[in-house]
Every structure is written in structure tokens, then in C-alpha cells.
Amino acid sequence: MLRAGLIGFPASGKTTLFQLLTSVREAPHRGGKAEAHVGVSRVPDERLDRLTALFRPRKHVPAAVEFADIAGAAGARAGAQALLDVAPYRNADALVHVVRLFRDPSVPHPADAVDPSRDVRTMEDEVILADLGVVERRLERLERDLRKTATAELRKEQEILFGCRAALEEGRPLRALALTGDDAKRLRGFQFLSAKPLLLVLNLDEADLPRAHDAVRLAGLGAFLTGAATRAVPICAKIELEIAQLDPADAAAFLADLGLTESGLDRVIRASYDLLGYISFFTVGEDENRAWSIPRGTPAQLAAGEIHTDIARGFIRAEVVRYDHLLARGTIAACRDHGELRLEGKEYIVQDGDVINFRHAT
Ligand SMILES: Nc1nc2c(ncn2[C@@H]2O[C@H](COP(=O)(O)OP(=O)(O)O)[C@@H](O)[C@H]2O)c(=O)[nH]1
Ligand SMILES: [Mg+2]
């Protein structure tokens, strides 16, 4: 499951958004100084809805995104540094920065004036500084260890961390390094905050909703968004709160009035998903229709492990049919009769919308 941590300055709308986004609630996650609330959102997917209409399974399980929200003012004030101590943030796949664009004088702004590009830069600097601290501590240790036993592995790590330090000192986030392969693997263990893909949620003023399509420019964030693994999505939390209180038909009509086709919440969930390059494959049957999320480029055996480690271990083959073929034919058997059911091995790269039945030894 994809995990995202909500960050942002006080009174930007994080908790409002978190409560709107998540259905399942857990007690605040303890451990470290600050605490986080963790909840789960369903990823809206029309394809899964259609498959369910076709198969009428007992259960329908969409893909999910887990969101974390830092609890209490203390956590929020401690800044990015504090996030390093909070597991749901440290382990997050992405950070979601809720940026205040709404003006509302009845909600005091911690920096007195609304200035989204300042807030985005300040947060980026905080995150970079937090990572720099981690890099420097690790480099000190490495130097001591290298004096004792100078292995090639330690030298390689030192070399990569020198590169990280140079970038961070220039004010560049680690996600800008776009590391791949072994280098990326080495860094993963550090869980650097600035290496995580970043989604900016631009929390608009109600009055600016008609100009939502132009929000990035209005916020002066065009240049910032040219950075690697960085995206933005406009919403208006206040309007979303109103929509959440309507029944589905009224909500759809309300959205249509605003010239929108989907709620801001759906856009946030989908943007988080797209940001990470995640795709979905489906499993179908009488019992359950379910969407699974995997990074693009995942081979079949690894994808099977998303369902259960036993299925990955005993992997024999994947029976694959494309979603649109299945929808057109109506049954897997009809797809097989038309040569649309493929048998794939463990190296097969799973495609977005594949419907898969994994054959496995038990
Ligand atoms: N006018 C307006 N107020 C908002 C909006 N989003 C949040 N607020 C209000 O701003 C205050 C702070 O919101 P909250 O979600 O607690 O912010 P957090 O400190 O970032 O968690 C609350 O009183 C919210 O009702 C918005 O889009 N428009
Ligand atoms: Mg809050």
C-alpha cells in the first residue's frame, strides 16, 4: 500500500484534508516526540467498479493510500526535523505538502500573510536541513569506521553521501538527484525526507475556485514544479467539507455547477498515486474483486507477493487478460476462446489494468 505523509505549516488545512480523505481511523501513532494520526483512503477506479458490476462478487476492495497527519500543534511547530522521529513519515513513500492559498482573516496565518511560494520554499529548506543532519552524522561515523576497516562497500556509501551532501548544501532536495539502481537502493535505508516524491496540495480560497486550473501560476510555483518528482493539485478544503455532507447525487450536481467532474479528494488520492508511478492490476472472482497497487515495471512474481508471500514463493505462472478485453467478452472463458488469455512467467512485467490469476504451488 502506498503511504503518504501530510506536511505543512499550521492552519494550512492538513487536518481538515486528512479527515476528509480517510475513512479508517487509528489511534495516534506513538513513538518519538511527535505523534501522527494514520488513516486510509480508497483509490477511486472506474475499471474496478465495472468489473464488480460484471462479476457481482461478495467483496469489492479498491486499492488504498495511507495518509499520516501530524497530531497536535507541538508536532506541527517542531518542523521537518521532528518528522524524522515519526515512523509514518519516515517510512512514507511520498510527502504531501498542504499549502495555504485561502485568505480567510478568521483563520490566523502563522506568518501573518498568505504567501504560497514562500511556504513551499521554507518547507523545502526545512526538509533539506533535516536530511543534511542525517547525512553529516552518517559521514562522521563512516569516517571512523573507514579508519578501522576500509571496505569497498563503505567507500561506495561515503562517495554517494558526499554527493548527497553537496546537493543538500546547495539547497537541492535529494529527489533531484534522480538516483537509480544500486545507488538508489543504498540511499533507501536512510529514508531521506527530501528524496521522497512531493505533492503540493494547493488549498485554494473559495473565491479562486474558478481559476483552479491556473493555481500553480497564481501561487508563483511554476519554476518549483519543474523539479523532479514534484507535482501540484488544487483543491478547496472548505468546499470539500460542504460536498462531503451531501448525498452522492447532490454532490455530483454541486461539482457540475462548479465545472468539476470529480471531487478534490479524488484528485489528491489519484495524484499521489500517479506521482509515484503506481499502476493497478486486478484479481476477480465470485468471492472478491480487488485492485492491487504496484510500481510501474514490477515483474509478475513480485506483484504476486503483493497478494501473499506464499503466492510469490510458489509462483508457477500468471494467467493474464487485459481489463478491456475482459469487459468486452464478459467472462475469462470467452477471453480464452478468443486467444486473449495469456500465460506469463515470473519475469513478465505487469501492465496497468491487467486482470491476473496467479497459479502457484502450495
Ligand atoms: N476558509 C477556509 N478555511 C479553511 C480551509 N481549510 C481549512 N480551513 C480552516 O483553517 C483552520 C485550520 O485548519 P486545519 O485543517 O486544522 O489546519 P492544520 O493546522 O494544517 O491541520 C480550521 O479552522 C479550518 O476550518 C479552506 O479551504 N478555507
Ligand atoms: Mg492539524
Radius of gyration of the chain (CA): 23
Over residues 283-332, the pLDDT tens digits come to 999 999 999 999 899 999 999 999 999 999 999 999 999 999 999 999 99
- The residue among 359 and 26 whose pLDDT is bigger is 359
Q: What is the Cα–Cα distance from 65 to 315, expressed in whole angstroms?
A: 27
C-beta of 184 in contact with ligand 1 (< 6 A): no
Over residues 147-156, the pLDDT tens digits come to 999 899 999 9
Q: ∠ CA(157), CA(95), CA(165), 5° rounding?
A: 30
**Of the listed ranges 162-171, 262-271, 276-285, 307-316, the one predicted with least confidence:** 262-271
Ligand 2 mean position to 36 CA, how many Å?
A: 10
Q: Identify the band that residue 75 occupies on the pLDDT scale cut at 50, 70 and 90.
A: low
| Beta strand 24-25 pairing with 315-322 | unpaired
Q: Identify the band that residue 26 occupies on the pLDDT scale cut at 50, 70 and 90.
A: low
Task: Give this prediction's pTM.
Answer: 0.89
C-beta of 11 in contact with ligand 1 (< 6 A): yes
C-beta of 238 in contact with ligand 1 (< 6 A): yes
Please report the pLDDT score of residue 336 as a whole number: 96
Residue located nearest, by CA, to atom 9 of ligand 1: 13
Q: Identify the band that residue 77 occupies on the pLDDT scale cut at 50, 70 and 90.
A: low
Q: Which atom of ligand 1 is nearest to the CA of 76?
A: 19
| Beta strand 59-61 pairing with 35-42 | unpaired
Q: What's the grid cell of residue 284?
A: 476477480
- Best of 9, 16, 235 to mutate for ligand 1, by most ligand atoms within 8 A of CB? 16
Indicate the SS3 state at residue 176. Answer: helix
Q: What is the Cα–Cα distance from 1 to 66, expressed in whole angstroms?
A: 7
**DSSP per-residue codes, 12-50:** SSHHHHHHHH--EE-PPBPSSSSEEEEEEEEPP-HHHHH
Beta carbons of 88 and 69 less than 8 angstroms apart:
no
Q: What's the grid cell of residue 165?
A: 551532501
Beta carbons of 279 and 351 less than 8 angstroms apart:
yes
Q: What's the grid cell of residue 18?
A: 486528512
Indicate the SS3 state at residue 6. Answer: strand
Please report the pLDDT score of residue 48 as a whole number: 95
Beta carbons of 35 and 125 less than 8 angstroms apart:
no
Indicate the SS3 state at residue 288. Answer: strand
- Continuous segment of H or E residues that includes residue 282: strand 278-283
Please report the pLDDT score of residue 23 as a whole number: 65
* Structural domains in the chain, sorted by start: 2-112+196-275 (3.40.50.300), 124-194 (1.10.150.300), 297-360 (3.10.20.30)
Phi-psi region of 348 (alpha: psi -120 to 50; beta: other; left: phi over 0): beta
Please report the pLDDT score of residue 110 as a whole number: 84
Q: Which atom of ligand 1 is nearest to the CA of 103?
A: 1
Q: What is the Cα–Cα distance from 236 to 56, expressed in whole angstroms?
A: 35
Beta bridge partners of 203: 100, 235
- Best of 6, 35, 77, 107 to mutate for ligand 1, by most ligand atoms within 8 A of CB? 107
Query: Long-range contacts of range 21-29, CB-CB < 8 Å, 24 or more positions apart?
Result: 21/67, 21/265, 21/268, 21/269, 22/67, 28/71, 29/68, 29/86, 29/87, 29/88
Q: Identify the band that residue 72 occupies on the pLDDT scale cut at 50, 70 and 90.
A: low
User: Which residues line ion ligand 2, judged by CB < 5 Å?
Assistant: 14-15
